[in-house]
């Protein structure tokens, strides 16, 4: 079993990388408190961190929550997405309300137009002194 020493070496590098990231002293990553940065800092493939060393990744996130006042990067992104989606919903609700009011106004205008077309309010001027060319049929 030659793989065991390699895994032990990876685990040591991951633990050291955790300490550096939590101390705010990254050497090989951007310093964000994410699994991607942890893998880069430990010089371990990200999938190896996620699969073989999932316990260390989970421990890292636990330490991030308990030891730092900082919110994890993934949570920040989720919060930004939620804020953006709430604004979108608010804007869409305002647009829907405006469209509803517009439908009401157009329905009223249509009813007025139909009413005036079917029954004019006043006869045209001078209709009383018009003589028909043909007598009316009874």
Instruction: Return the pLDDT at 1.
Output: 43
Q: Which has the higher per-residue pLDDT, 1 or 6?
A: 6
Q: Residues 37-43: contacts with CB within 8 Å, 24+ apart?
A: 38/14, 41/17, 42/10, 42/13, 42/14, 42/16, 42/17, 43/13
Is the pTM higher than 0.75? The answer reads no
**Euclidean distance between CA atoms 110 and 119, whole angstroms:** 14
pLDDT tens per residue across span 22-48: 998 999 999 888 999 999 999 999 999
The ranges assigned to domains in the chain are: 10-67, 73-117
Position 97 pLDDT exceeds 50: yes
pLDDT tens per residue across span 53-87: 999 999 999 998 888 776 777 888 999 999 999 99
**Euclidean distance between CA atoms 37 and 48, whole angstroms:** 13
126's enclosing H/E stretch is none
Provide CB contacts within 8 A for 52, sequence distance 6+: 7, 10
- As a whole number, the mean pLDDT across the chain is 86
């Amino acid at each position: 079993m030659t793989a065991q020493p390699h895994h032990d070496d990876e685990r040591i590098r991951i633990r050291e990388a955790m300490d550096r990231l939590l101390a705010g002293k990254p050497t090989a990553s951007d310093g964000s408190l994410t699994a991607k940065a942890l893998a880069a800092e430990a010089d371990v493939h990200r999938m190896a961190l996620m699969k073989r060393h999932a316990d260390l990744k989970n421990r890292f996130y636990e330490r991030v929550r308990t030891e730092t006042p900082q919110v994890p990067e993934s949570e920040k992104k989720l919060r930004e997405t939620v804020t953006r989606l709430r604004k979108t919903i608010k804007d869409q609700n305002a647009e829907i309300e405006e469209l509803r009011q517009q439908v009401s106004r157009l329905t009223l205008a249509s009813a007025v137009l139909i009413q005036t077309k079917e029954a004019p309010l006043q006869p045209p001027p001078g209709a009383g002194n018009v003589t028909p060319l043909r007598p009316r049929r009874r």
